[in-house]
Amino acid sequence: MPLVLEYTLVFTTVLALVALGGMFSERSGVINLGLEGIMVIGALAGAIVTSVLSKANCPNFLNVIVSIIASMISGWLFSMLLGIACIKFKADQTITGTALNIMSTALAVVIARMYTKTPSSQVDYTRQIYMFSYDGNVGIFLIFMLVATFASYVFLFKTSGGLRLMSCGEHPQAADSVGINVYKERYLGVSISGILGGLGGFAYIVQSAGQWDFKYGVTGFGFLALAVMIFGQWKPIKILLAALVFGLCQTVAIIYSGTLGIPQFVYKMLPYIVCMIVLVLTSKKSRAPKAEGQPYDQGKR
């Protein structure tokens, strides 16, 4: 049972962090389909920084903090490609997000090979310093996830800043008419999605045995996070609960794979089957921000 709990907490943490990031972007009016790519870049930066600092015998605490900050910054920088293209140049948000996903894995492989100076895109790092196992220690990413969830709830629904951001995803023209800078709010939403997405990507690879091959990207977790966000109705607490459900499904798929006479590939498909069923059942009740995906033109009213 502890193993089931450990994996469930790991996957729930990753999905919640990334889904919360996607929520901020869409609440501001920008669809971020590039979460998968942002996760990859955040994971790469975190892994390389961890590896470098470990080789330099950096104290564990400092290693953890610097690596996490590196994953956040890299995720933010990569998300700005989406922000600039879609907010400044009014590019199609779906196509831009898809392009980021395609580009991220290729870019990560090239950078990883440059770092290792080998044909391999596998980066080795020290997993143990993150205390992510269920052994009495609380994983640092779990703490980040819980803080991010409740901070997001308070910010969005209890502060004027959150209400301003959400107004830009519902009716940007009305928001602009009362003096709200729609472009600024949308950049803020995309920035938060990049920061949390990069952190989530790093949290995802830390579960592995001290190494990650970036030719696999993050194995579709960015897309699962989008499903979690939709299932959670763009609300932080519901997103956390949805992440728990999907995290448990992913855990069952890994731990019980091949048991009960059921083929292994069926278990691997389980999280995605659940994803499709949930989206079909909840699509009619889904209440996405009304202006998401619509480029804002200040000249229109």
Q: How far is CA 162 from CA 129, 137, 149, 153, 177, in A?
A: 35, 33, 14, 9, 17
Which residue's structure tokens are 């950096």? Answer: 58
Is residue 182 within 8 A of residue 296, CB to CB? The reply is yes
Closest CA to 218 of 69, 66, 60, 46: 46
CA distance 18 to 164: 22
- CB within 8 Å of 60: residues ≥ 6 apart: 129
The pLDDT of residue 64 is: 87
Amino acid at 198: G
Q: Averaged over 26-42, what is the pLDDT?
A: 97
Residue 174 has pLDDT above 60, yes or no: yes
- Contact call for residues 109 and 62 (beta carbons, < 8 A): no
CA distances from 142 to 6, 20, 148, 160 (A): 11, 14, 10, 28
Q: How far apart are CA 72 and CA 169, in angstroms?
A: 24
pLDDT at 134: 42
Sign of the C-alpha dihedral, residues 215, 219, 220, 225?
negative
Percent of the chain with pLDDT over 70: 94
> Residue 218 above 50 pLDDT?
yes
Which amino acid is present at 180?
I
Rounded distance between C-alpha atoms, residue 156 and residue 140, angstroms: 24
Cα–Cα distance for residue pair 89/83, rounded to 1 Å: 9
The yes-or-no verdict on residue 256 having pLDDT over 90 is: no
pLDDT tier, 208 (very low <50, low <70, confident <90, very high otherwise): confident
Joined together, the tokens standing for residue 247 give 């995290």
The pLDDT value given to residue 280 = 83
Q: Calculate what percentage of the chain has a pLDDT beyond 90.
A: 68
**Rounded CA separation 211/154 (Å):** 37
Token representation of residue 228: 């979690």
**pLDDT recorded at residue 36:** 97
Give me the residue label for tokens 């691997």: 268
pLDDT 10s digits, 49-93 = 999 998 998 888 888 899 999 999 999 999 999 999 999 999 999
**Residue 286: predicted pLDDT:** 78
Token pair 């209440």: residue: 287
Average pLDDT over residues 245-261: 83
pLDDT tier, 133 (very low <50, low <70, confident <90, very high otherwise) = very low
pLDDT at 61: 82
Give bridge partners of residue 212 from the DSSP assignment: 123
Cα-based distances in Å from 221 to 74, 128, 216: 18, 23, 11
What is the structure's pLDDT at 4? 83
Q: Is the distance from CB of 175 to CB of 296 less than 8 angstroms? A: no
Task: Give the mean pLDDT of 272-289.
Answer: 81
Mean pLDDT for 235-249 is 94
User: Mean pLDDT across the chain, nearest whole number?
Assistant: 90
- pLDDT grade, residue 128 (50/70/90)? low
**Structure confidence at residue 127 (pLDDT):** 61
d(CA 229, CA 86): 21
Instruction: State how far the Cα of 251 lies from the Cα of 214, in Å rounded to an integer.
Output: 22
Q: What is the pLDDT of residue 300?
A: 65
- What's the pLDDT band for 279 if we cut at 50, 70, 90? confident
- Report the pLDDT value the prediction gives residue 138, as an integer from 0 to 100: 44
Please, which residues bridge with residue 123 across strands? 212
State the Cα–Cα distance between residues 57 and 64, nearest whole angstrom: 12
Domains, the chain, with CATH or none: 2-282 (1.10.3470)
Confidence of residue 186 (pLDDT cuts 50, 70, 90): very high
